[in-house]
A and B are shown apart, each in its own frame.
Chain A
């Protein structure tokens, strides 16, 4: 049997996933990272994006996180997510709406809108959409 590690995905409001995994992928601030068991201790920030957890029976789980922290120990991985909602629960319409609103906000520079804030919203909406598309493709 392949080696496994324990993975926890938690947000301030709830615990989202807890269980063994063979591999974990996450979009860290300096690029996508893939974590295998026996990884050296590692601490990084996460970008808005998906966290992929591959369980010992080969199942692939997607979780959307809008930023957070990733902590890696040789046999435990912890994702401290800012607000992670299960990708299943994501409301695609809301994501598109948020994207449109953010894009409108980006174009409408004259209005007194925080440019950086709008860019973050856009990045989040795009990441949510890609997570949904991935899920759709799997079905």
Chain B
């Protein structure tokens, strides 16, 4: 019976798509769990560093590092972290929208901007928009390494050292929970020391070899670790967003299959009814 051949093929193709989206959903779910673990594992380092830096800022160091001095803002640097791949809902577009809003504010104040992009989506976006990209990193994979980031972070830190930028911002997605990802713009440089009464003590470290060198290394590592954390958070967000997007895609495919099945059944029923009535008509004509 040739009834509804097109519908049957259509159902089959939707079912195949559903299989793929369901598989992607499950893969994203397991990757998200790993990314969350990685997120938790990277936190102590940045926290410890933050403690040491706050100590330094408050323990009357004889040397004030340029990274902690607030300058007049003439140029701003952005580090934008995005995913490498798509199919993760509105994650990247929300992030870019947020970035655009911030950029517009600077633009109105006639402040120039340079960008460092991490992830292919950000690179593509700023290429399209026409931003001044000075560094980029992509294809970090599912287990990003800090080592992959050192290069591009250094480019931005050098720009800060040379006075090419006066402020460094980090744009990334903050992982709140599976359903919520928060696009965030955070200031990396200059570092603003926390105002904390408890930290007002009157001792200083012994530095080896020298305060300046130790501070530079410490602050560089701190910025690197913040960027790394951003990357890991963003990865967790990407997987969560993909999981949700794929789940709704699977659900939609299911609805579509139900609808098509109904149409198909109706058509089949109609064809049978018609055949029966034809037979009845034929029999009636004979008798």
Contacts and interface: CB of A to CB of B under 8 A. Distances in A.
Interface of A: 8, 10-15, 28-30, 40-45, 68-69, 71, 78, 80, 82-83
Contacts, number: 76
Contacts of B221: 12, 68-69, 80, 82
Interface residues of B, number: 28
Contacts of A44: 207-209, 214
Contact of B45 (A10, A28, A30): A10
Given A12-B146, A69-B218, A80-B49, A29 B208 contact: yes
A29 to B, nearest CB: 6
Interface of B: 38, 41-42, 44-46, 48-49, 52, 56, 145-147, 203-209, 213-214, 217-218, 221, 224-225, 228
B196 to A, nearest CB: 16
Contact of A12 (B204, B207, B208, B228): B228
A44 B210 CA distance: 8
A45 B224 CA distance: 17
Given A69-B221, A80-B48, A12 B42 contact: yes
A45 B221 CA distance: 12
B208 A45 contact: yes
A40 B221 CA distance: 24
B38 A13 contact: yes
Nearest to A39: B206
Contacts of A40: 206
A21 to B, nearest CB: 16
Contacts of A15: 41, 44-45
Leading 9 A-B pairs by shortest Cβ distance: A44-B208, A14-B41, A43-B205, A10-B45, A12-B146, A15-B44, A12-B225, A41-B205, A10-B44
A42 B206 contact: yes
B203 A13 contact: no
Contacts of A41: 203-206
Nearest to A73: B55
Contacts of A13: 38, 41-42, 45, 145-146, 228
A13 B143 CA distance: 10
B211 to A, nearest CB: 8
Contacts of B218: 43, 69, 80
A79 B231 CA distance: 23
Contacts of A82: 221
B120 to A, nearest CB: 23
B224 A12 contact: yes
A82 B44 CA distance: 13
A8 B44 contact: yes
A43 B224 contact: no
